[in-house]
Structure 1
């Protein structure tokens, strides 16, 4: 079991470490590559994952409901703590609701549970991405228009994947293969970018950051474990849910906080502390999910 957990986490850590080391050695601006990943590579990853094998959304209803319980429950607990400590509520709450399902979640789910269960991971990633780019942004900025936020490549990739599935549209191999190759670049680039971001952050709010970084996986894992006890999930889905509960805050929360001027220094501390603490909580979640 320890070696199995190490073999799952090691590729994720090594790719992120490569990004961190490169950014420490040489200044790098990943803005264009991150835009490419968000607008092209990640949507292609979602599209090809959905069209490669049937994704029965109804079969993932209970799993998605449990994911929402973990997300909303973690947000409510964070809201209470933020109000009690008089911290910036959006800056403290949103990173704990929307965790790193892209840079860390997708590769960990893939390495831990295999390609046969990757459809469940994609369903979670797409659902939370849609919520993050709508509800999450709206929490940072209450004046943000929802209509424009829904007009994103990820939404179109999701709709296209559903259409191809439901209508049984054949995908010629010479069309599908280049799309699959481009989509497969998304996960390594996500992890490399995560390492670069870790090297670029300047953290000044360690106290609040460590509190939030600890609260995020503790509340997430506890809520996920309760859902596993109350509902009947397959072994793989239970493991996917437990791993979701242990994921750290997403890096993109820092970009949103900076864009909408919601205490980016606090969010940077939360992201860095949460990512470091994930080295303890992700192995714990894998140990619980793989046993």
Structure 2
């Protein structure tokens, strides 16, 4: 858990609140990252570390409910952390030992996603954006793809290279990452960027004309998100854009992409990993020890609170 002494005062509003009486941003300087509307309303007061660092942007971070200020677009409903637009530096310095410790279950997850990709493109050149330590790239190679990745974290990039995996340090667009690719994947990436339309357009620039793009992202319109409110596990400091089905479709259309498949993805975790996350909602003094053998039990989990889409370039 993050040291509470590092946090500034936080005021959390009710889930899906009325926008009446809340602050509206200065229209001259703020706009929606999806539809470009200037009608932005504050719906959640944030609390961020005074000395924010890459540690706060770990993939496995479990400080649920901690975000920057969240604003909602009055035009399309997209939610975004408008003040966090220069986040790349945190991903560059981010280290996450727990991520590598979950490599086995993430490999199973990658293979599940690859089976969906293979319905549309059974083989070819594949690019994984936000490749981490190369887990998806490694599994794609085993499945017969000519796969590579791009990753901004220096630490995770180094781990991928130690395994001999072709992962390039950086982000798109990148001079050393050139298409055309038959498949481009972004698994839990698009919610981390302040320019989702531009990122998706950059995918189109490296995607073959008949290629496909797979994107997975949390769904703010899901039942779980509504029930949990601001304590939903996808409200995290690293998540700065929050999609529902309609804003995801709008984002893809704005980027010149057509959705050809949409479903709810299944993730894979050890029981100990899940138990640790669930216990974040329990006071520290009430948390029981987690049995060691939970590390050896893996299970699939689909809470129907994420979207998985496959897209093609618009004709």
Tell me the TM-score normalised to structure 2 length: 0.26
Structure with the larger RCO, 1 or 2 (CA within 8 Å, 6+ apart): 1
Which protein is richer in strand relative to its size?
Answer: 2
Instruction: Please give the TM-score of this superposition, normalised by the length of structure 1.
Output: 0.28
Structure with bigger helix share is 1
